[in-house]
Amino acid sequence: DAGVIQSPRHEVTEMGQEVTLRCKPISGHDYLFWYRQTMMRGLELLIYFNNNVPIDDSGMPEDRFSAKMPNASFSTLKIQPSEPRDSAVYFCASSSLAEETQYFGPGTRLLVL
Amino acid sequence: DQQVKQNSPSLSVQEGRISILNCDYTNSMFDYFLWYKKYPAEGPTFLISISSIKDKNEDGRFTVFLNKSAKHLSLHIVPSQPGDSAVYFCAASSGAGSYQLTFGKGTKLSVIP
């Protein structure tokens, strides 16, 4: 298995632009998680899905952030409009009941100018 | 309010010696704890876990100790190797296994040859 796949790996955009981050979970995993890592706050959970349904989005910072999972093999995290304080590394992770851990993708490093 | 704390941002250890990474938590509902290792430009990878019904779990050179009364856990690496140089994250969850993980901010371990 290729593991969790994220794209793009790096994104540089200007304030006000829309940013879409993509994630393909490990096949067979029914849980998908989006995290954000910053120096100040560390690694924080934004939202997670079970069987494509959002279960807890309490970590989503504000309405500018939205996440979707249209099918079991794809999820997006969208920021519209983006702001400089959104600059961070965004990780996607997947898991299942049979696993003892979550498996992380390589992350997307986002820089908003 | 940080529920999982790693108070040492960095640690340097000589190759061959023991590395001890510490983690404290405040939420008494946490009952499952994990350690992840992260190399630059990669996502966190699972290292070892422990359930609250145990006080020790060992896997090769890695041992995790849990002191529930002190709400403290530690990761011991012995002997330390240069390839162990990475950022180590402590994570905790309650009730649902590895879901809804709360992470510490990480400790950067440098193993000096």
Q: What is the mean pLDDT of residues B21-27?
A: 97
Find chain A residues with C-beta within 8 A of B43's C-beta. 4, 91, 93, 104-107
- Interatomic CA distance for residues A53 and A55, integer angstroms: 6
Q: DSSP assignment of B34-100, as one string?
A: EEEEE-TTS--EEEEEEETT-SEEEETTEEEEEETTTTEEEEEESS--GGG-EEEEEEEE-SSTTSS
Contact A100 B105 (CB under 8 A): no
For residue B9, what are the β-bridge partners?
A: none
Confidence of residue A97 (pLDDT cuts 50, 70, 90): confident
Contact B98 A106 (CB under 8 A): no
Taking the Cβ of residue B67 and every Cβ of chain A, the question of whether any pair is shorter than 8 Å is answered with: no
Confidence of residue A62 (pLDDT cuts 50, 70, 90): confident
Interface of A with B in 15-74 (CB under 8 A): 31, 42-45, 48, 56
Q: Does pLDDT of B97 surpass 60?
A: no
Beta-strand runs (E) in A1-113:
5-7, 10-13, 19-24, 31-38, 42-50, 53-56, 65-71, 74-79, 88-95, 103-104, 108-112
Nearest to B42 among A93, A97, A106 (CB): A106
Taking the Cβ of residue A97 and every Cβ of chain B, the question of whether any pair is shorter than 8 Å is answered with: yes
Average pLDDT of chain A is 94
Contact A99 B98 (CB under 8 A): yes
Q: Does pLDDT of B95 surpass 80?
A: no
pLDDT at B1: 72
Q: Does A35 or B41 have the greater pLDDT score? A: A35
Q: Does pLDDT of B113 surpass 90?
A: yes
Q: What is the mean pLDDT of residues B44-70?
A: 96
Find chain A residues with C-beta within 8 A of B101's C-beta. 45, 102
pLDDT at A101: 87
Taking one residue from A and the other from B, the number of pairs with CB-CB distance under 8 angstroms is: 48
Contact B57, B74 (CB under 8 A): no
Q: What is the mean pLDDT of residues B52-59?
A: 95
| DSSP reduced 3-state for A42 | strand
- Interatomic CA distance for residues A43 and A49, integer angstroms: 18
Q: Provide the 8-state DSSP code for A12.
A: E
- Interatomic CA distance for residues B96 and A7, integer angstroms: 29
